[in-house]
Structure formats: structure tokens, C-alpha cells
């Protein structure tokens, strides 16, 4: 494993080629080489239990979860449009995306709480 000269960085972004998990052994190997907090790119799709363990037991300080929230938004939007295809008021349609996105956000953030 090769690390770039990151002397002036405050966070180290890392990305793994696994869409539905974060290889804990790889995280530990990176942590052993640096004391810079890690940022997981592609954090969407990491199972909640694994995300919780990594948040509590590793140097990971940030999980990028935008894709996961966009998926919740997209599903809610499709459902809202499908419920009444004749409806065209975007404000009314978008109102129906709020609660599902908030629920997804709360679920994700709850998994990151300290023990």
C-alpha cells in the first residue's frame, strides 16, 4: 500500500471497489500507516451494522452517503408521481419526498452515534 505525501492534509479520503461493504482489514492497514482521520467515499450501501462498528472503532470520521439519500429521494419521487400521474404541481409532488429522505437520514445518522 502506498500513501501520498499528506503532511498538510487534515483528512484522508479512501475509496474501495466494493459497492456494499467497506473492507475493515484495508481500513486497519491504512490506519496503521497514518494518524490522519479517514473519509470513506462510497459509504452509501455499507450495511448499517458495519457502518456503526467502523464509526465507533476506527479512524473513519466521515462517511459519504449522498447516493443513499438520493436513492431515498428518487424512490419517494417515483412513488409520488406514480400515485397521481395527472398531478403536475411540483411543490405538491416534492412535499412527498421530504419524510422519506428525513427517515433515511435519521436512520443513517443513528447508526453513527457513539455507543
Decide: pTM greater than 0.75: no
Helices 24-33 & 48-57 angle (0-180, nearest 10): 20
Quick: pLDDT tens for 12-61: 666 665 555 667 777 788 888 877 787 877 777 788 888 888 888 888 88
**Can you give the residue range of the structural domain that contains 93?**
66-115
Are residues 20 and 47 in contact, defined by beta-carbon separation less than 8 angstroms? yes
| Structure-model confidence comparison of residues 84 and 61, the more confident one | 84
Average pLDDT over the chain reads 81
Query: Residue 63: is its pLDDT beyond 70?
Result: yes
Domain membership of residue 53 (yes or no) is yes
51 and 80, same domain (yes or no): no
**Residue 4 falls within a domain, yes or no?**
no
Q: Which residues are bridge partners to 41 per DSSP? A: 15
Amino acid at each position: 500500500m502506498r500513501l501520498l505525501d499528506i503532511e498538510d492534509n487534515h483528512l484522508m479520503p479512501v475509496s474501495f471497489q466494493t459497492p456494499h461493504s467497506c473492507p475493515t482489514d484495508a481500513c486497519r492497514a491504512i490506519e496503521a500507516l497514518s494518524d490522519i482521520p479517514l473519509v470513506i467515499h462510497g459509504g452509501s450501501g455499507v450495511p448499517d451494522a458495519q457502518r456503526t462498528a467502523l464509526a465507533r472503532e476506527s479512524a473513519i470520521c466521515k462517511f459519504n452517503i449522498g447516493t443513499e439519500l438520493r436513492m431515498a429521494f428518487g424512490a419517494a419521487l417515483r412513488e409520488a408521481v406514480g400515485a397521481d400521474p395527472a398531478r403536475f404541481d411540483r411543490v405538491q409532488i416534492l412535499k412527498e419526498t421530504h419524510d422519506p429522505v428525513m427517515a433515511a437520514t435519521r436512520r443513517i445518522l443513528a447508526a453513527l452515534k457513539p455507543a
